[in-house]
């Protein structure tokens, strides 16, 4: 039985033998002395001193919304204490306990909705609801001078009932301590890293609010547009192969806007042309001009009108209940009726497989 020592009280704790969850850089355990907490133990044999200092800053600067258990509203697993081994080496931290079986990876909602008679696991309005809750969470983080930086479906869980997101790897955030010193994020997934940052090859400690605003828009675009990345594209020349996504991101080849002067076109299953003009404009700002990217609070305000009870902007499709439509019809139905060319079908399959390989939809959280 593994034993560790709590920093705050010097109390010895004994972990249960089996971990309950595997994260990217460690394991989550229950421990005998407290049934209301979990402990994360890192995989690393040596943990950098600055990371320990960051955890101290997080414990001393706990945001007011970090522990809201009422109505399934907890959205941030914030450290409450540090743990050390017998010789005083920092090994992990304590978080409040929750039932992880009540959650699913956000990546599950990035799969495209089809026309199958079998009901979809999650309908289009629910995807819109997730987008709204995510924007609201990010707005809350930004108001507390916290940056996520590494926005990635693999570190975001969704409550199955409320569909509110939960950030389980809060130690990866970029935070300020009481002295206004910033402790940077640990990484940034290139699929959600803005083109200007990729070109300059900036390290995570140089990324901030502008990066978050870009990545928020990427994830919202995926949720609203059948899981597509905003820079995924097909060549108009039918004899050419689709280009690599990374090169399209670096060259800012956003072809989902109003301009058609490009050698590329959107994949055939994209429904972006059915968005209302206001939504199109927000995406154009996010992916065409780094100075004009919408903030999290702007996205939150915009998406709220689609999920409110008196909503008239997004209506259920009469043909398929899992679809929803804007004013100009159901994009999912329209695209399915047109059908996909063989090349588009192959690209759709390859795109999905490639996304899994890249961690695009693959969860780094494994439950036991």
What's the pLDDT tens digit per position in 141-159? 999 999 999 887 877 899 9
Mean pLDDT of 112-128: 70
Q: Give the residue with greater pLDDT, 136 vs 242.
A: 136
- Integer angstrom CA distances of residue 302 from 36, 296, 299, 334: 38, 10, 5, 25
Instruction: Count CB neighbours of 65 within 10 A.
Output: 16
Q: What is the mean pLDDT of residues 21-28?
A: 84
Structurally, how many domains does the chain consist of? Answer: 2
Convert 203-265 into a string of H (helix), E (strand) and C (coil).
Answer: CHHHCCHHHHHHHHHHHHHHHHCCCCCCCCCEECCCCCCCCCHHHHHHCCCCCCCCCCCCCEE
pLDDT for position 216: 97
Residue 350: pLDDT over 70: no
pLDDT at 258 over 80: no
Which of 98, 116, 147 is the last residue before a domain boundary?
98
| 24 & 156 share domain | no
Least confident stretch, 75-84, 220-229, 249-258? 249-258
- Give the pLDDT mean for 11-28: 90
pLDDT of residue 221: 96
The DSSP code for 179 is T
Residue among 22, 60, 16, 20 at smallest CA distance from 42: 22
Range of the domain at 305: 103-367
| pLDDT tops 50 at residue 353 | no
The residues that bridge with 27 in the sheet, in sequence order, are 22, 41
Q: Which helix (H) or strand (E) holds 287?
A: helix 277-288
**Cα–Cα distance, 262 to 251 (Å, whole number):** 12
Choose the final residue of a domain: 51, 77, 98.
98
36 & 163 share domain: no
Considering the domain architecture, whether residues 58 and 169 belong to the same structural domain is answered as no
Residue 34, pLDDT above cutoff 80: yes
Task: Say which CATH number the domain at 83 has.
Answer: 3.30.200.20
More confident residue, 78 or 259: 78
pLDDT band at 8 (very low <50, low <70, confident <90, very high): very high
Give yes or no: residues 37 and 133 share one domain.
no
User: CA neighbours within 13 Å on the CB side: how many for 154?
Assistant: 23
User: Is residue 57 over pLDDT 90?
Assistant: yes
Q: How confident is the model at residue 349 (pLDDT cuts 50, 70, 90)?
A: very low
User: What is the number of other CB atoms lying within 10 angstroms of the CB of residue 83?
Assistant: 23
Strands (DSSP E) found in 244-340: 264-265, 315-316, 324-325
Q: State mean pLDDT over 318-345.
A: 63
Look at residue 246 and tell me whether its pLDDT is greater than 70.
Answer: yes
pLDDT average, residue stretch 290-296: 89
Q: What integer is the mean pLDDT of 162-180? A: 89
Mean pLDDT throughout 130-147?
Answer: 94
Whose structure tokens read 């959205």?
75
Buried b (16+ CB within 10 A) or exposed e, 112-124: bbeeeeeebebbb
Say yes or no: 91 and 143 in one domain: no
Give the separation between CA 77 and CA 157, rounded to whole angstroms: 11
The label of the residue with tokens 């990546």 reads: 107
Residues 41 and 75 in one domain: yes
What CA–CA distance (Å, rounded) separates 41 from 13? 13
Tell me the pLDDT tens digit for each residue of 267-282.
888 888 888 889 999 9
133/154 same-domain check: yes
pTM for the complete prediction?
Answer: 0.86
Residue 207: CATH number of its domain: 1.10.510.10
Query: For position 327, what pLDDT does the model report?
Result: 60
Element (H or E) spanning 50, and its range?
Answer: helix 49-60
Residues in the chain, overall count:
368
Q: Do 252 and 214 lie in a common domain?
A: yes
- Rounded-to-integer distance, Cα 110 and Cα 97, Å: 27
Distance CA 253, CA 286 (A): 13
What's residue 338's pLDDT? 60
Give the separation between CA 184 and CA 368, rounded to whole angstroms.
31
The answer to whether residue 352 scores a pLDDT higher than 70 is no
Specify whether 249 is located in the same domain as 308.
yes
Query: Average pLDDT over the chain, rounded to whole?
Result: 81
Alpha carbons 135 and 25: distance in angstroms, whole number: 26
84 and 182 both lie in a single domain: no
Based on the fold, state whether residues 13 and 46 are members of the same structural domain.
Answer: yes
Q: Which of 63, 98, 133 is the last residue of a domain?
A: 98
Q: 155 and 25 in one domain?
A: no
pLDDT of residue 67: 59
Greater confidence (134 vs 244) lies with 134
| pLDDT at residue 247 greater than cutoff 80 | yes
Average pLDDT of the residues in 330-350: 57
- Residue 111 has, within 13 A of its CA and on its CB side, a CA count of 12
Token pair belonging to 310: 């008196």
pLDDT band at 33 (very low <50, low <70, confident <90, very high): very high
């Amino acid at each position: 039985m593994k034993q560790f020592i709590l920093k705050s009280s010097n109390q010895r704790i004994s972990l249960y033998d089996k971990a309950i969850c595997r994260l990217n850089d460690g394991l989550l355990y229950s421990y005998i002395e407290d049934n209301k907490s979990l402990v994360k133990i890192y995989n690393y044999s040596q943990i950098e001193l600055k990371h320990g200092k960051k955890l101290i800053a997080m414990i001393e600067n706990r945001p007011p919304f970090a522990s809201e258990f009422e109505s399934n509203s907890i959205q941030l697993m914030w450290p409450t204490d540090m743990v050390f081994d017998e010789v005083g080496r920092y090994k992990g931290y304590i978080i409040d306990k929750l039932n992880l079986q009540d959650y699913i990876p956000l990546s599950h909602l990035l799969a495209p909705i089809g026309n199958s008679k079998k009901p979809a696991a999650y309908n289009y309005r629910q995807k819109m609801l997730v987008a709204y809750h995510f924007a609201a969470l990010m707005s809350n983080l930004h108001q507390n001078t916290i940056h996520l930086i590494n926005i990635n479906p693999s570190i975001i869980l969704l409550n199955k009932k409320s569909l509110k997101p939960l950030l389980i790897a809060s130690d990866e955030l970029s935070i300020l301590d009481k002295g206004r010193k910033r402790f940077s994020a640990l990484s940034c997934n290139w699929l959600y890293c803005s083109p200007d940052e990729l070109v300059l090859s900036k390290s995570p400690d140089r990324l901030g609010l502008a990066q978050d605003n870009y990545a928020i828009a990427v994830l919202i675009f995926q949720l609203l547009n059948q899981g597509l990345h905003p820079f995924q594209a097909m060549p108009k020349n039918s004899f050419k192969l689709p280009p690599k996504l990374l090169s399209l991101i670096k060259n800012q080849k956003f072809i989902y806007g109003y301009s058609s002067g490009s050698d590329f076109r959107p994949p055939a299953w994209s429904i972006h042309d059915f968005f209302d003009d206001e939504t199109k404009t927000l995406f154009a700002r996010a992916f065409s001009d780094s100075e004009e990217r919408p903030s999290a609070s702007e996205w939150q305000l915009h998406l709220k009108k689609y999920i409110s009870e008196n909503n008239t902007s997004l209506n259920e499709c009469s043909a398929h209940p899992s679809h929803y439509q804007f004013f100009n019809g159901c994009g999912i139905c329209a695209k399915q009726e047109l059908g996909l060319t063989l090349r588009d079908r192959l690209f759709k399959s390859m795109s999905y497989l490639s996304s899994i390989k890249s961690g695009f939809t693959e969860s780094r959280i494994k439950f036991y």
